[in-house]
Amino acid sequence: MESTMGTQTRVAIITGSSRGIGQAIARRLAKDGFSVVVNYAGNAENARATVADIEATGGRAIAVQADVADEVAVAAMFDRAEREFGGIDVVVNSAGLMVLGTIADFNLADLDRMHRTNIRGTFVVTQQAARRVRSGGAILNVSTSAERQALPTYGAYAASKGAVEALNLILARELRGRDITVNTVAPGPVATDLFLDGKDAATVDRIAKLNPMERLGKPDDIAEVVSFLAGPARWINGQVIYANGGMN
Instruction: List the catalytic residues.
Output: 157
Stated as kind and residue range, the H or E segment containing 5 is strand 4-5
Long-range contacts of 149-158, Cβ-Cβ distance < 8 Å, separation of 24 or more: 149/210, 149/247, 149/248, 152/102, 153/100, 153/101, 153/102, 154/100, 155/102, 155/103, 155/106, 156/99, 156/100, 156/101, 156/103, 156/106, 156/110, 156/111, 156/114, 157/98, 157/99, 157/100, 157/114, 157/118
Half-sphere exposure of 31 (CA within 13 A, CB side): 14
Q: How many residues does the chain have?
A: 248
d(CA 41, CA 157): 19
Alpha-carbon dihedral angle through residues 90, 241, 73, 42, given to the nearest 10 degrees? -110
Q: Name every residue whose Cβ is closer than 8 Å to that of residue 211 and which is 6 or more positions away in sequence.
A: 188, 244, 245, 246, 247
